[in-house]
């Protein structure tokens, strides 16, 4: 009922709806309407109540309630089920627990805050409350485990497009899936899977976007930035989520149909901060300098080492 009243107020944003009309429309008492309005106000909605005129919605809060995102979402299956958490250890850990049970393909887990946000290579991910977009897309893809790393590159391109669709920010991709602005990291992606030898049971695509973080939120970390710092404007987190999920669905569906990411390689390479540059390759076996030459059709980085030998890097990261 609360959601229905909210929808009605949103349809008539800024104009007054009388308690009597609302009570007739939804078949509940005026007192019940008043109670739901009170609840919405407590949740942060700015609703003006005037005797003789009724209620008018003036502003929605910057909170990632599913009902708010659903109103902006234009997808078939990604984000059709949204789990909203005020606080969580990590949306990826939550998704993995859910993945072990039964879940709807395309479920999105969103949290305002992560207490133990996780990054790649065992690092921590700073996730201050309501400052960013900390979310995981939980998928059931019918692909082989060895194809999963390609979903990571899909997510990088999709997130870049999604953010650019809302904010005019210059973003590049640092292989495999960091989004950077002027060399500073704005978004990271952590893909994890639950699999058997030849099939995937679930795939978690964890996306961390520094949306409205301020310099002080990063402490000593001078390699990170946010959309707000980069653009000078407050980022609309709900719009960004809707755009990111839409573009992710487009690319991911094409990938499932084609079985590889060759359809978006040109786009990835165009956005690459590394291809054509000298890089330092960091793998679990050590570090070395090389020139990033190309990206293979399965998303691996091809580098030229001293002496001219081309090496295929399947995992790890590079620094410019
Ligand atoms: C990286 O190291 O670049 C990856 C960072 C991934 C962070 C996101 S935030 C949402 C999801 N939950 C996590 O604990 N991590 C990912």
Question: Are 244 and 95 in a shared domain?
Answer: yes
CATH code for position 230 = 3.30.930.10
- Say whether 80 counts as a known binding-site residue: no
Same domain, 255 and 134: yes
CATH number assigned to the domain comprising residue 308: 2.30.30.100
11 known member of a binding site: no
Cα-based angle 123, 124, 126 (whole degrees, multiple of 5): 145
Q: pLDDT value at position 317? A: 85
Does residue 200 share a domain with residue 304?
no
Q: In this structure, are 32 and 107 located in the same domain?
A: no
Residues 24, 104 share a domain: no
Domain final residue, candidates 237, 253, 270 = 270
| Residue 172 pLDDT | 96
Pocket of ligand 1 contains residue 208 by CB under 6 Å: yes
How many domains in the chain? 3
Confirm whether residue 118 is marked as ligand binding: yes
Residue 34 shares a structural domain with residue 158: no
Question: Do 94 and 218 belong to one domain?
Answer: yes
132 lines ligand 1 (CB under 6 A): no
Tokens of 14: 């800024």
- Is 90 annotated in a binding site? The answer is yes
Q: Are residues 176 and 119 in the same domain?
A: yes
- Per-residue pLDDT tens over the stretch 247-266: 999 999 999 999 999 999 99
Residues of the chain with pLDDT under 50: none
Task: Find the angle CA(238)-CA(239)-CA(241) to the nearest 5 degrees.
Answer: 65
Which of 97, 118, 135, 221 gets mutated to test ligand 1 (max ligand atoms within 8 A of its CB)?
Answer: 118
Q: Are residues 44 and 116 in the same domain?
A: no
Helix axes 30-42, 2-11, angle to 10 degrees: 80
Task: Note whether 151 and 229 are same-domain residues.
Answer: yes
Which ligand 1 atom is at minimum distance from the Cα of 127?
A: 9
Which protein residue's CA is at the shortest distance from atom 9 of ligand 1?
Answer: 208
**CATH number of the domain enclosing 24:** 1.10.10.10
**Ligand 1, closest atom to CA 93?**
14
pLDDT per residue over 195-214, tens digit each?
A: 999 999 999 999 999 999 99
How high is the pLDDT of residue 190? 97
The answer on 181 and 281 residing in a single domain is no
Domain encompassing residue 219 = 66-270
Last residue of a domain, one of 35, 59, 83: 59
210 & 304 share domain = no
Please choose from 131, 207, 225 the residue to mutate so as to test ligand 1's pocket, defined by most ligand atoms within 8 A of CB: 207
Q: How many CB atoms lie within 10 A of CB 229?
A: 18
């Amino acid at each position: 009922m609360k959601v229905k009243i909210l929808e009605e107020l949103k349809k008539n944003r800024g104009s007054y709806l009388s308690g009597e009309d609302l009570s007739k429309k939804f078949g509940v008492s005026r007192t019940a309407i008043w109670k739901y309005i009170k609840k919405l106000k407590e949740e942060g909605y700015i609703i003006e109540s005037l005797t003789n005129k009724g209620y008018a919605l003036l502003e929605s809060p910057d909170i990632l309630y599913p009902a708010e995102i659903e109103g902006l979402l234009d997808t078939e299956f990604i984000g059709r089920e949204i789990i909203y958490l005020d606080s969580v250890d990590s949306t990826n850990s939550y998704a993995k627990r859910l993945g072990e049970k039964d879940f709807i393909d395309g479920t999105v887990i969103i949290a305002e805050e992560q207490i133990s946000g996780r990054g790649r290579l065992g690092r921590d991910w700073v996730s201050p409350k309501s400052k960013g977009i900390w979310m995981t897309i939980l998928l059931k893809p019918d692909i082989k485990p060895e194809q999963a790393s390609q979903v990571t590159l899909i997510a990088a391109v999709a997130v870049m497009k999604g953010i650019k669709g809302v904010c005019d920010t210059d973003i590049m991709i640092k292989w495999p899936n960091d989004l950077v602005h002027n060399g500073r990291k704005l978004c990271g992606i952590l893909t994890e899977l639950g699999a058997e030898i030849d099939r995937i049971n679930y795939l978690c695509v964890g996306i961390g976007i520094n949306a409205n973080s301020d310099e002080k939120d990063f402490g000593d970390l001078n390699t990170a930035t946010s959309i707000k710092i980069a653009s000078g404007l407050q980022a609309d987190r709900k719009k960004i989520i809707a755009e990111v999920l839409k573009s992710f669905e487009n690319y991911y569906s094409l990938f499932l149909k084609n079985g590889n990411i060759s359809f978006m390689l040109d786009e990835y390479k165009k956005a690459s901060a590394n291809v054509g540059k000298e890089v330092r390759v960091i793998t679990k076996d050590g570090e070395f300098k090389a020139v990033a030459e190309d990206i293979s059709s399965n998303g691996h980085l091809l580098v030229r080492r001293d002496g001219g030998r081309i090496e295929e890097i399947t995992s790890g990261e590079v620094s410019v």
